[in-house]
Amino acid sequence: MKIAYLCFLHPSKVPGGQQRIAYDLFQCAGSKYGFDNTLFIASDLQVEPLRTAQSSRLVEVGKSEFVYVCQRYDYRFHTNFDVKGQLEIIRLLKSLAPDVIHVHHFLAFGLDFFPALRAAMPNTRLVFTLHEFLPICQNNGHLLRKHDGGICDKVHAISCQKCFPNERLDYFEHRRAFVEDILSIFDGVSAVSNYARDILDKNLSLRCPVKVIENGPLKRDDPRGGARNANKKRRLVIGFIGQVHAVKGVDLLLGAVDDLMRETGGYAHSIEVHIFGNLVDLGYREVLERRVAQVNSTSLKVVLRGPYSATDLERVFSDIDLVVIPSIWPETYCLTVDEAVHAKKTVVCANFPAVLERIRECKGAFLFQSGSQSDLMRALGEAIKVVRVGEWENPFSKALITVDELFKNYHEKLYLS
């Protein structure tokens, strides 16, 4: 079997869940079927990471790995006006003749790319995995209402217009119908959690039923971390790992730690907060840097550690005692939780539905009400006490699987049926 994978951004640049899973599956397919399997990576829309020849929008960056640099993109209906680039990808795909094309994201490729792909390759099985809610929610797929901070369960044009008052009501209906028609082109659709599947089912009527194929939790060949010992260091490091923007809850974390310092008094000199990840929004960068400067004016130390890569996680985790996932949007899976548990780190995590499907609260994981600064402060205080004495429990409530088993799940549930 020959498989072509399509994803948005390379995991070495943005180590998010969508990138990691797409790359893991691509490598697994390569080990099983050889380098006839390919990976197409759509790159940044505004900033080109590579200099490309004027005659080509595709660059081979590794064996069977191609980066596509999008030229013109419309975010409203996720339409790609780079027709030459789309045709170039289709020509290469036709020459490779994959049995299956597995799409992990449509950003930079464009939703309009898939009808053209289907017409050009009618006998190739076309499948799609939902890693986030962009097909459903205009607000960057976060399901987070701008006007009251609540979470949308059933998306409706009237509630959408409250978030985007300059848009007509029928725009949201047209957008929903357009996305629904495009996703109905696919021969198979999957989601990475039961929660993600349920949201997709509630909001879109697709041609085929949505299957759940979870990201893991994955076994790692090189388990990180050893037995936990009491933290006898003068400092305790709280770490945030991920894309750094407002909905990831970094402000919430800083506010909760600041409140904890004020309440306890004696903690400030022994705690640091390290933030790992890309600052992807320039406007938010200014807000965060001001907030960090404000917190650092007290005795608490906050460090912006900058980007990291998926291959560098062992180093990232080596100096962290406590990993916090303070997301204020309901993530579809959140691979960072799994990575932190594999590293035997204590986790403080927002109680969004997808993480509750595989994580139980114990001495390895402390859950708090998503969006609540006071409850995050409470969970941090409890977790710090446990870390100080070196106690830890494995919080996974589901059996771990290997990457090979994950590939087998996709092979059986999505590629063949």
Does 374 lie in the same domain as 265?
yes
In a domain, 224, yes or no: no
pLDDT of residue 224: 47
Looking up residue 271, the CATH number of its domain turns out to be 3.40.50.2000
Q: Compute the distance between CA of residue 59 and CA of residue 241 in angstroms, rounded to an integer.
A: 30
Domain that holds residue 351: 236-389
Same domain, 298 and 363: yes
Residue 169 shares a structural domain with residue 76: yes
* Residue 228, pLDDT score: 52
Is 397 among the domain residues?
Answer: no
Q: Is residue 228 part of a domain?
A: no
Residue by residue, pLDDT tens for the chain (417 residues) are: 999 999 998 888 788 899 999 999 999 999 888 778 999 999 865 544 444 445 567 888 888 999 998 878 888 889 999 899 999 999 999 999 999 999 999 999 999 999 999 999 999 999 999 999 999 999 999 999 988 889 998 888 999 999 999 999 999 999 999 999 999 999 999 999 999 999 999 999 999 999 999 999 998 755 444 445 555 566 899 999 988 888 999 999 999 998 888 887 666 568 899 999 887 677 788 888 888 887 776 667 888 898 888 788 888 999 899 999 999 999 999 999 999 999 999 999 999 999 999 999 999 999 999 999 999 999 999 999 999 999 999 999 999 999 999 999 999 999 997
Structural domain contains residue 14: yes
One domain for residues 208 and 322: no
- Residue 245 and residue 209 in one domain: no
Is 292 within the bounds of a domain?
yes
107 domain-assigned? yes
pLDDT value for 245: 83
Q: Give the total number of structural domains in the chain.
A: 2
* 16/131 same-domain check: yes
136 and 19 housed in the same domain: yes
Give pLDDT, residue 44. Answer: 63
- For residue 396, the SS3 value is strand
User: CB-side exposure of 362: number of CA atoms within 13 Å?
Assistant: 14
Q: Are residues 185 and 252 in the same domain?
A: no
408 and 291 together in one domain: no
Contact indicator for 216, 301 with CB cutoff of 8 Å: no
Alpha helices by DSSP H, listed for 187-333, are 194-203, 250-264, 282-296, 313-318
Residue 221 counted as domain residue: no
Task: Specify the pLDDT at position 181.
Answer: 95
348 phi, psi to nearest 5 deg: -115, 115
Q: Residue 71: name the closest of 58, 59, 60, 81 by CA.
A: 81
Say if residues 346 and 383 touch (Cβ distance below 8 Å).
yes
Query: Global pTM?
Result: 0.92
Per-residue confidence (pLDDT) for residue 15, from 0 to 100: 81
Shared domain for 257 and 139, answered yes or no, is no
Residue 309 lies in a domain: yes
User: Are 306 and 210 contained in the same domain?
Assistant: no
Do 174 and 248 fall into the same domain? no
